[in-house]
Structure 1
Amino acid sequence: MRLNYFYQQMLAFFAVVTIVLIILGFSFLQFARNTAYQNTETQLFGYAEALIDEDLQMEKLENGQVILKNQGVSIFVFDSTDSMIYPSTTEKYISGISDQDFKKLKNGEPISLTQRNTDFFGNQINTAIVYQPFFTQSTGEFYGFIAVSAPISTIEANLKDIRNNLFSAFIFSIVGATIASYLFAKFQVKRINRIRSATHRVSKGDFNVHLENKEMDEFDDLAADFNSMVDSLKNSQEEIERQENRRRQFMADAAHEMRTPLTTINGLLEGLEHDMIPENQKQRSIQLMQNETRRLIRLVNENLDYEKIRSNQITLQKQTFDAHEALEMIVEQLKGKARDSGNELILDCPTELVVYADYDRFSQIIVNIIQNAIQFTTNGEISIIGYYGENESIIKIKDSGIGMTAEEIKNIWERYYKADISRKNTKYGESGLGLAIVQQLVNLHGASVEVESLPGEGTTFTLSFPLDLNEIG
């Protein structure tokens, strides 16, 4: 069955948007449900602790119950024998909790939010309850526990409102997605027809065809390739090869510069997803992802014009910043790669060390050198050392890897050069562009880089960045 490309694009875009909306909707509902119950638990425990702090005075209990009654919250107090002592009743009531939970209470452990389909008087009502033990102040003996409950109907009512609002938003989103799908498909087909028309003219022998290229996406890449093809047909096979080499070079440069930020963000997201990052490190991980995202956006914007780097035409946003913090973040993002090769990253840098450089490009320089060290080091150490020189900040990166000969040191700044060809396809250094980019960026900073290495003894890169004398003065 033939299906026009216009409808293929429209259906594909609509399907993607719909699936994303459904996934986000279910995720949000689950999150909202968990949050609602967690907030309820925190709130009920707060009530219980406040009453215990007031020594469970009868007057305080009565006042608290009156205040919380409008919220549907009920307060119950039980003694050490599990008998209800508040509210006062003519009959004896117990909590009905298990022996295991009662033992936890006697040991001072509160019982988190649990659900019951009856209250303590046997009435049929779905409630959420927390239990908080309390002890005598004089002897510290277990005296009983307080139970604070709230009707689940209140929680579910709030969740129902959220579901209704989300459903309304989903309907509006579907309508919007349909309109957007139509416009998107129409725009894409129009661009394809433009290329199709040009191809038809070439097939008729008209080689004076040139497609506009705004360098926006793959269609513009296609237009650029089409133009290159026409030029090659007009000029020679040599022109064809030259254009292909330039395209491959561009793709290699772009992939090399963008790989590290994307790998870092993906690793941190997986760590957060699988709860592998400690709670006290999550904020730092988020900050690292934000920094890498901002860096990636800027690199993508500049990567399309990579030739400017070689011709000293890029603009550096130089500033004085905390070198220790920058190096610490780089070590954090690369330690997983180092660990995969059995290596250990060691940071030896005073916290007061600062560097005057473009932050993103400085990070790119350090990352490229460390990744190069990881590539050529196995089961060793890679030290990142920072200190002040004479009106300059010095960063040394020293590894215990395979090292290099004097001849290899002369060639490492050449593009695509590999000191060890057998490692060319390792996952940390495919293109051979890293050190070439390092040298160009170091020169643009007015800085210097020196290399010391012996075969079998490792390699040391020494970077010297001049300080901003105006700030020092």
Structure 2
Amino acid sequence: MKLLYRLMIAFFTVIITLMAVLSLAFINVTNETMYRNTWNQLKTYSDSLVQDAIRYDTVNRKFRGFENQALLSNAALLSNQHVHFAVFDVNQKQTFASNGFTPQISKSDWKKLSKGKTIYLRITRPQINVHNSDHSAMTEVIRPYFYRKKLIAVVSIATFVSVVEENMHQLKINLAVAFLIATLVALIISYIMARSITGRIDRLRVATRQVSKGNYQVKVPVNGKDEMDDLARSFNQMTTALRESDQEIRRQEERRRKFLADAAHEMRTPLTTINGLLEGLQYDAIPEEDRKHSLELMRNDTQRLIRLVNDNLDYEKIRTNQISMERKLFDCSAVLTNLKEQFAKRAGEKGDEIQLDVPEGLLVYADYDRFVQIMFNIIQNAIQFTDNGLIKVTARKVKHGCEFKISDNGIGMTDEQLKNIWERFYKADQSRSNSQYGESGLGLSIVHELVTLHGGKISVKSQPKKGTTFTLFFPDQHNAPHLNVQ
């Protein structure tokens, strides 16, 4: 069975059950109310006829009895309304009866009456001279009357239950018609309520089919705060996550294709060179005096390929947190001084001067080998793009860590080049792509990943033909993040 029909049945059952309970309660209350109203009316009739027929001796202040003519007149009037009464004296003797109305009063009832209590009987069957079987059952009120605190008479007054039941019957007919109309309305309301829920489920179902077809842009409207809206919100969060995941997969796939293309491009030149030289050696096409130089070229290109592979491996390990890092405090001034000495020859070949401005004994909290690798790559990059210039390395203690700046007055970079310098295999100056230093295009990518892994920051400013400045920040021991590496 469809959910729509099940919900309709559920709503319809609840509404009909509630209506039935309310109808039964209404009938019971109305029935009770009708009897109470009838009893109150009978009490009023009783009080009125007693007031009309009772006679007192005003001189001796005694009860003289009831005037028979007055009782007969009231009996005639009340008979037209199907009301009959009987009068009893204090000796429990019936002194008057309208239309042969002869009720019976038990001893226990007389005790209650003598105490001033009025007795109400819902259904009784006194003898009465009325030729109608429907009028056999009556509802009766037995009411005592006192004079000077003494019981003087008891009036039993009753009307036929059929009179009350006729009103109840008509009420039940009207209620049944209303119930049928309400049933139709309940059916319509149940359909509307069920449809409002299943409609929202249908929207989710349609959206789910769209997602299964690869459409992650679909959204389900959310208008409230009920469970269906919570489900819609979760669905929208799922599609957002799927969309972001799909975009990330596409980016990764694009990076993979680009990496393969770049790696193939970088390897093609040295492999072509090596292959050509090997063929020349194989077929003795290279003169004896050039063989040593050819072997040197092959060795250099082989080392270049080894560096390219190692740099790629390092980059992937760093990017996926698979490197071993042991951070500690050490004197960075000694490291930078040692690097200056290592680069002295290379800088001299380019006509460059390396200048250090580092406080002696400045402590930095980092992995020693990775710190050396970071500074080595940046200084090497500065030397590569600077001719006959100045390369200045400064360091200072700042709040929460240490700051380093490596600046040069080399060829500089444009804004477009600055946007891409952290990309793998990117080379700002393609004319120097075959330089013996930094030819892989991976140095700055590795630097960026290593600094980030330390919890530090790296930024670069550059202007064409004016130079470039790299600024690095390494947090101190108390502000460095916890590393989760292997």
Scaled to the shorter chain, the TM-score interval is: 0.3 to 0.5
Larger Rg: 2
